[in-house]
Amino acid sequence: MVGVRGELLDRALAAMSSLATGRPPVLPAWQRYTGVVWEHLAPEDLTDAELSRILVPSGVYGVTTADDLIADYRLKMTARIDGIGQLGAFWRSSVTRAIARFGSGIIVDLLPGEHRAAIDVEELGRHRDIVSVHFKAADGVGAAGHAAKAVKGRIAFVLLRQGLAGLDGLALDGWLVRPCADGYEVVALA
């Protein structure tokens, strides 16, 4: 149901039980979220202003900023909940409206497909300019795995510090950033 198994399921159930109490322990999202992307984003090195520009789709919260106080949870956007359906579809309208109203300027989309399902990109594009960043293996197929996640975190850091100009000709540990039709491709060189 929540999209995880084994130890992660046990942790998810404990986290959801804590949420149900109404007073779970909370942390700023940038401290709560973990994983390869967050590790390489290095949020502890970002300024408060840079952190405040990060938006994260969430199965529990809809969308959060990196500064929002959130509880521990494990609920994937692909999870199906009785009476609600798939969470990505459930949140799509609300998340799209929230992102459209958030700040100003260009939105840079670094999301994996699971999280992108919570956003009506076509509708969002009516309100804001969107630049997509696609990660591709050397053979041109979509890239996934540890290396792609690590470079995604580093690309996000560059974007927060330097804006889109920071991507021009950028090369990171065997990955090259180049323009494409709807934004940028980050291509593995080998």
pLDDT, tens digit, for every residue of 17-44? Answer: 776 777 778 999 999 999 999 999 999 9
pLDDT for the residue 142: 82
Q: Are 167 and 155 in contact (CB under 8 A)?
A: yes
- pTM, two decimals, is 0.85
Tally of domains in the chain: 1
Residue 184 domain-assigned?
yes
Residue 81 domain-assigned?
yes
Tokens of 70: 């959130």
Q: Are 50 and 161 in contact (CB under 8 A)?
A: yes
Residue 1 domain-assigned?
no
Which residues form the domain of 183? 6-17+25-188
Residue 179 domain-assigned?
yes
Residue 131 domain-assigned?
yes
Residue 117 domain-assigned?
yes
Task: Tell whether the torsion through CA atoms of 169, 172, 176 and 181 is positive or negative.
Answer: negative
